[in-house]
Amino acid sequence: MGRIDSLIAEMTLAEKLGQLTMTAADYAVTGPLITPLSEDAIRSGTIGNLLNLYGVEATRRIQKIAVEESRLHIPLLLGFDAIHGQRTVFPIPLAEAGLFDPVAWEATARVAAEECAGDGLHMTFAPMLDVSRDPRWGRIAEGPGEDPFVGSAIARAKIRGFQSSSLADVGAVAACAKHYVAYGAVTAGREYASTDMSEGMLREVYLPPFRAAVEAGVASIMPAFTDLNGVPLTASVFLLQEVLRGELGFEGVIVSDYHAVAELLNHGVAGDLAEAAALALKAGVDIDMMSDAYRLGLPVALERNLVTMDDIDAAVRRVLSLKERLDLFQDPYRRGRADTGTTAQSRALARDVGARSLVLLKNDRSTLPLAARKIALIGPLADAGSEMRGPWGGAGRPEDCVGVLQGLTEAGLDVRHAPGVPIEENDVSGLAAALALCADADAIILCLGEALLMSGEAASRAHLGLPGRQQDLADAVFEKAAGKPVIVVLFSGRPLAVTEVVSRADAVLAAWFPGCEAGHAIADVLTGKVSPSGRTPVSWPRAVGQIPIFFGERPSGRPFNPADHFTSHYSDVENTPLFPFGHGLTYGDFKLSNLRIEPGDPLTVKVDVANHGAHAAEETVFLFLNQKKPGVTRPLLELKGFGKIALGPADQGTVTFTLPAPTGRAELFVGPNADFRSMLSLSL
């Protein structure tokens, strides 16, 4: 009999339920670890997993209690939210998606995994794979943007990066694909609200990244807090058992979201903790994170015959199998080392990825790269290193983060700085001092946007303009600029509805939250040391009223026609986004030509790219398909590929895609973004 079978045979019910329980510890790198009760619970084997505890001393001490003082010596599984870095904070996932570069996506996950392992962790609750087309939802910041093809590519890259070639590797951690599924479609963009959609939409838009995660061997999956079509994901036999484990063949661990099992009572689908625990276990949830429903509810559920001991044993087996794959039984202390801070290498990667995540939205009259040296740096996010981490900044320390003021100063610019107004508070007392800087400057850089906590979890917004009195600051600066170039750098966890600011600025750089090397990355792009190459992975609305807005819409029987009033349109705003998916300018001047196909299955699609500009730059090119289907309307555009090419001035090259040969009538589109006006097309 193997180790796991013999353990299960020996375990008491309390010990089994302990393996199905994950409790939050303090964010304890030093100091008191977790309450004495929890340590006793670890000694008694009634807590088998922890989250939010990291650092080699803290994790070694607590693991020692489990391994050396509990009856069966089963090691703890330790998890944490290293969503975009652990000690080295990389750009938020929405920003990093805009690199359209799986090599970079994997590289940052690899560094995060090494740093997590260094902190004694075994699991990260990432990647977050929730496609979203609603920037009112704060968690759009954590995900891959609006498109499932991108989400699937990110899933594969991140799981390779986190899990390495084997979970037994000392630098590997178990990934956790979340939040299964369709969390990004919450009603009205309001956090934790219900989701409703057709099974077709679910399978075409929200499920693919999780399919890709399972195919990539993800070790665990976390169901969403939400209900889909009336069934909470935490209790969904259809989506967890039939689809995830049945159709997709997922054999790993399903860990609930924080307190989600007990929240089945709030959903109204369970009358008490025993029913909630039974629903979740029967649906396939193995670990109950922080609701104690399994520990307290399953003994009662057993008595009521709501669950069987076999159900419990099956879940325990999956949890112990994960611990075995992580080599925790062999050497529970193999992960963990003292020096887990950022390094020159990790910061160099953060700076490179940070620069490449920046999206140059507008650059009239080639305002950028900066010609000026005397800069008025104004705005509440100009000297805000700590905010650069963005939501879910892991173990990143504020003091490790470089803000814009530091970055521009170190780049040798002559910078005068004033915040002008705070990010959110209604206070304009600093406005005059900020405006006074404009007179003596050759260029003005306005750093505006959101605080890091204005996106991420529990951070939905109904208005997507600039917070606080920032619009007043911007208006006053535009008035005061007197013809000097005004560059706006926008910090946010989502697209903002800032049409008026964009129209008045000479240049606009969407910085999202670029991570610990933000200031250096932004200085590299503004000074021209690096050409911007980031592309937005999500459409930018002109107005909140356009939401949901995305490129993959179906045609409608009355597609917009300016000559015909009775066609799909608003009376007060254009249908098109302010910036389409894929938009992003560079310092090059790229032209596409000669789109062609080489027959076969898969097809080979080629397009020539030339840089007619004076700067070297990197272009990203997208391949879309409009596939007709008899009797079924299809999206106008479906993303089927993306490719990149770096070209010097007057250089040219070719980007090649492969595409499974479409059946029936189809049209190919290739372009720098999802705007038909910029594309080349071919009928198949």
- The footprint of ligand GLC on residues 30-69 (CB under 6 A) is 51
d(CA 138, CA 62): 34
SS3 assignment, position 524: helix
The CB-of-191 to ligand GLC minimum distance in angstroms stands at 10
10 Å CB burial of residue 20 (0-12, 13-18, 19+) is buried
Is residue 202 within 8 Å of 236, Cβ to Cβ? no
The dihedral over CA atoms of 224, 229, 230, 231, expressed in degrees to the nearest 10, equals -50
**How many secondary structure helices (H) and strands (E) does the chain include?**
19, 23
Q: Which residues pair with 669 in a beta bridge?
A: 624, 681
- 178 in contact with ligand GLC (CB under 6 A): yes
Q: Which is nearer to ligand GLC, 113 or 381 (CB)?
A: 113
**Of the listed 147, 257, 286, 383, which one is catalytic?**
257
Q: Which is nearer to ligand GLC, 81 or 288 (CB)?
A: 81
The CB-of-74 to ligand GLC minimum distance in angstroms stands at 22
- The footprint of ligand GLC on residues 118-137 (CB under 6 A) is 125
Is residue 33 within 8 Å of 59, Cβ to Cβ? no
- The footprint of ligand GLC on residues 280-309 (CB under 6 A) is none
SS3 assignment, position 220: strand
Task: Tell me the site size for ligand GLC, rule CB under 6 A.
Answer: 7
d(CA 87, CA 80): 12
Instruction: Please say if 257 is a catalytic residue.
Output: yes
Residue with tokens 């939400």: 226
10 Å CB burial of residue 634 (0-12, 13-18, 19+) is middle
Q: Which is nearer to ligand GLC, 109 or 361 (CB)?
A: 109
Q: Which is nearer to ligand GLC, 289 or 645 (CB)?
A: 289
The CB-of-54 to ligand GLC minimum distance in angstroms stands at 12
Question: What would the x/- binding string for ligand GLC be over residues 485 to 524, using CB under 6 A?
Answer: ----------------------------------------
Q: Which residues pair with 644 in a beta bridge?
A: 620
Is residue 389 within 8 Å of 396, Cβ to Cβ? yes
Question: What would the x/- binding string for ligand GLC be over residues 62 to 81, using CB under 6 A?
Answer: -------------------x
- 191 in contact with ligand GLC (CB under 6 A): no
Percentage helix, strand, coil for the chain under 3-state DSSP, each rounded to 5: 35, 20, 45
The CB-of-189 to ligand GLC minimum distance in angstroms stands at 16
Q: Could you check whether the bond before residue 369 is cis, i.e. omega within 30 degrees of 0?
A: yes
Beta strands in 414-548 (DSSP E): 414-418, 443-449, 486-491, 507-510
The CB-of-142 to ligand GLC minimum distance in angstroms stands at 8
d(CA 173, CA 463): 38
Nearest to 490 by CA among 350, 588, 347, 357: 357
d(CA 580, CA 662): 25
The CB-of-325 to ligand GLC minimum distance in angstroms stands at 20
Q: Which is nearer to ligand GLC, 163 or 470 (CB)?
A: 163
Backbone angles phi, psi at 374, to 5 degrees: -90, 110
d(CA 52, CA 292): 17
Q: Which is nearer to ligand GLC, 392 or 550 (CB)?
A: 392
Q: Which is nearer to ligand GLC, 105 or 258 (CB)?
A: 258
- The footprint of ligand GLC on residues 425-484 (CB under 6 A) is 457
The CB-of-223 to ligand GLC minimum distance in angstroms stands at 10
Nearest to 171 by CA among 184, 156, 155, 160: 160
> What is the 3-class SS of 16-75, one letter each residue?
HHHHCEEEECCCCCCCCCCCHHHHHHHHCCCCCEEECCCCHHHHHHHHHHHHHHCCCCCC
The CB-of-125 to ligand GLC minimum distance in angstroms stands at 3
Q: Which is nearer to ligand GLC, 178 or 469 (CB)?
A: 178
Is residue 230 within 8 Å of 269, Cβ to Cβ? no
d(CA 249, CA 238): 14
- 387 in contact with ligand GLC (CB under 6 A): no
Q: Which is nearer to ligand GLC, 129 or 666 (CB)?
A: 129
Residue with tokens 């997922």: 250
Query: In sequence order, which residues have a C-beta less than 8 Å from that of residue 616 and are 6 or more positions away?
Result: 531, 588, 646, 647, 648, 649, 651
For ligand GLC, the binding residue among 258, 550, 590, 669 (CB under 6 A) is: 258
Q: Which is nearer to ligand GLC, 391 or 582 (CB)?
A: 391
- 257 in contact with ligand GLC (CB under 6 A): yes
Q: Which is nearer to ligand GLC, 125 or 581 (CB)?
A: 125
CB 272: neighbour CB atoms within 10 A?
14
The CB-of-261 to ligand GLC minimum distance in angstroms stands at 13
10 Å CB burial of residue 205 (0-12, 13-18, 19+) is buried
CA angle 164, 166, 167 (to 5 degrees): 90
304 to 240, 262, 298, 300, 307: CA distances (angstroms):
23, 18, 10, 6, 8
Q: Applying CB under 6 A, which residues contact ligand GLC?
A: 51, 81, 125, 178, 257-258, 457
Active site residues: 257
